[in-house]
């Protein structure tokens, strides 16, 4: 799916019973710059139809993984992070934030992920405010569970 040599890949999938999304970033060897998945089509002249098919396959894989959790009577996660390197190092984590029943949209989720994961501050002040609101919401949810 990434048509160039890469060093690290950071994937996050948001999946619930109604649908979801998968986004990822990657780095190239000897370069820490993050490249966003959707730029692959334009940057490497990949046919959009082929890329979309591969992206759907990736999404379906995460959907299947979530269904396995349900089949095994485990709490179905709402987001799953897969971080891996070309040296076969893998880190997987699951979150159970009830995104569907919040006021936060996909852009807010993505801004929160980028801020938490990479320290990327959103460009617009209102987006950073939303990130702070998400942080507060998650903190309140964690405190309620204790």
pLDDT of residue 90: 98
Structural domains of the chain, ranges and CATH numbers in brackets: 1-101 (3.30.500.20), 104-146 (no CATH)
Give the pLDDT confidence of 46-82 residue by residue, as tens digits: 999 999 999 999 999 999 999 999 999 999 999 999 9
Mean pLDDT value of segment 126-134: 97
Give the pLDDT confidence of 79-92 residue by residue, as tens digits: 999 999 999 999 99
Mean pLDDT value of segment 97-106: 90
Is the distance from CB of 29 to CB of 18 less than 8 angstroms? Answer: no
How far apart are the C-alpha atoms of 146 and 139, rounded to whole Å?
Answer: 11
């Amino acid at each position: 799916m990434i048509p160039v040599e890469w060093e690290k890949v950071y994937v996050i999938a948001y999946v619930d019973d109604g649908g979801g999304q998968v986004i990822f970033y990657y780095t190239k060897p000897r370069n820490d710059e993050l490249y966003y998945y959707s730029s692959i089509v334009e940057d490497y002249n990949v046919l959009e139809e082929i890329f979309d098919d591969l992206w759907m396959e990736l999404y379906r894989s995460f959907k299947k993984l979530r269904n396995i959790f349900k089949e095994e009577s485990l709490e179905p996660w709402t987001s799953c992070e897969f971080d891996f390197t070309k040296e076969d190092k893998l880190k997987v984590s699951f979150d159970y934030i009830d995104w569907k029943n919040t006021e936060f949209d996909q852009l807010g989720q993505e801004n929160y992920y980028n801020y938490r994961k990479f320290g990327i501050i959103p460009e617009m002040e209102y987006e950073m405010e939303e990130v702070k609101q998400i942080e507060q919401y998650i903190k309140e949810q964690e405190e309620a569970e204790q």
